Amino acid sequence: MTSFLTAASTEQENISHDTRRLRLISGTSNPPLAQEIATYIGISCVPLVSKRFADGELYVQIQDSIRGCDVFLIQPTCAPVNDSLMELMIMVDACKRASARQITAVIPYYGYARADRKTAGRESITAKLTANLLVKSGVDRVLAMDLHSAQIQGYFDIPCDHIYGSPVLVDYLSTKDLEEIVVVSPDVGGVARARAFAKQMKDSPLAIIDKRRSAHNVAESLTVIGEVANKTAILIDDMIDTGGTICAGAELLRKEGAKRVIACASHAVFSPPAYSRLSQPGLFEKVIVTNSIPVKEENHFNQLKVLSVANMLGEAIWRIHEESSVSSMFR
């Protein structure tokens, strides 16, 4: 299977890189990812001072001139989500006041994405509110990865490029000796994602787990729609939070006769008790995630594999800077 990054690298060889007006700035959410992106592009991140006052207020100062530059702020709005989001908006304001030409918020993980609609009376659509806050803060465009639902892209009244982590997951799985694959959606809402993933996995068959929620972060699996017996089941989701959904799905697949169960997700949120659930012996052969969110050392376990999306994000950043197609990366 040919990686999209191989094609991107070939294309890069024919491009004369002009990074004189390209600037990367990392917030405090995921500096290692920002450094990997900078290495791919071939520049260094602009130094940034970010600190907290005694009363909890955040302070940000950009250490180099960015006047007239295309600035890309790399900041997943992961836990602590409110601090990460506020820091990003303060960074945007600092860039505006420093006369940046264009400001792009690179958000590998978009916090509050699950609050994308009203499911009961008197609720907030916080995903839309977050988009409004970012636009009002002065962001000119957004680069996001694996948004929880497609409609979030439309919440922004500015250009929003939505890219996918699935090629990185598929590239890794294609190097493994996997036979009789069936791609499984852990719920009905993830069917479109699973179908697209199954197509990339050499048009593998699709199965769906029908489940119901009794409360937030509480999932009750009911039945499997599709054939999984004696097959390698790949559970695909956009994120793993407490692990309840994905683990309940894995248990059901084992009961239905799946010989191997592999979990794949772009975002490793890993809220407690995710570690104890995911690390159960005999449940998952592998849990594959990306580094869109930094995985804390205490959340690492034997079955875990963390893949880097830095090259993919770096390629997207370069294409935005060059005003070339981002979507063509995935064709």
pLDDT grade, residue 14 (50/70/90)?
very low
Confidence of residue 331 (pLDDT cuts 50, 70, 90): confident
Q: Is the pLDDT of residue 213 over 80?
A: no
Distance (Å, whole) CA 75 – CA 142: 11
Within this chain, do residues 30 and 120 fall inside the same structural domain, yes or no? yes
14 plus 117 within the same structural domain = yes
C-beta of residue 224 within 8 angstroms of C-beta of residue 256: yes
- Residues 258, 174, single domain; the answer is yes
Q: What is the pLDDT of residues 229-245, one digit of tens each?
A: 999 999 999 999 999 99
Q: What is the DSSP string of 101-127?
A: SEEEEEESS-TTTT--S-SSTT---HH
- Structural domains in the chain (count): 2
pLDDT at 217 over 70: no
Q: Do 183 and 160 fall within a single domain?
A: no
Please name which of 320, 330, 272 lies closest in space to residue 102, comparing C-alpha atoms: 320
Q: Which residues are catalytic?
A: 211
CATH number at residue 287: 3.40.50.2020
Residue with tokens 């179908």: 195
Write b or e for each residue in 281-296: b if 16 or more Cβ atoms lie within 10 A of its Cβ, otherwise e.
eebbbbbbbbbbbbbe
pTM of the model: 0.92
Radius of gyration of the chain from Cα atoms? 20
Contacts of residue 188, defined as CB under 8 A and 6 or more positions apart, other chains included, come to: 208, 210
Domain that holds residue 210: 167-307
Q: Report the chain's terminal Cα–Cα distance, integer Å.
A: 13
What pairing do the DSSP bridges indicate for beta strands 160-163 and 218-225?
Answer: unpaired
In whole angstroms, how far apart are CA 185 and each of 20, 221, 253, 258, 261? 44, 12, 11, 14, 13
pLDDT higher than 50, residue 167: yes
| 137 and 219 both lie in a single domain | no
Q: Residue 142: what are its φ and ψ, rounded to 5°?
A: -130, 140
Q: What is the pLDDT averaged over residues 143-163?
A: 97
Q: Are residues 120 and 83 in the same domain?
A: yes
What is the DSSP secondary-structure string of 270-316? Answer: --TTHHHHHT-TTT-SEEEEETTSPPPGGG--TTEEEE--HHHHHHH
Please tell me the number of Cα atoms within 13 Å of 189 on its side-chain side.
12
Distance CA 142, CA 113 (A): 14
Distance CA 302, CA 86 (A): 35
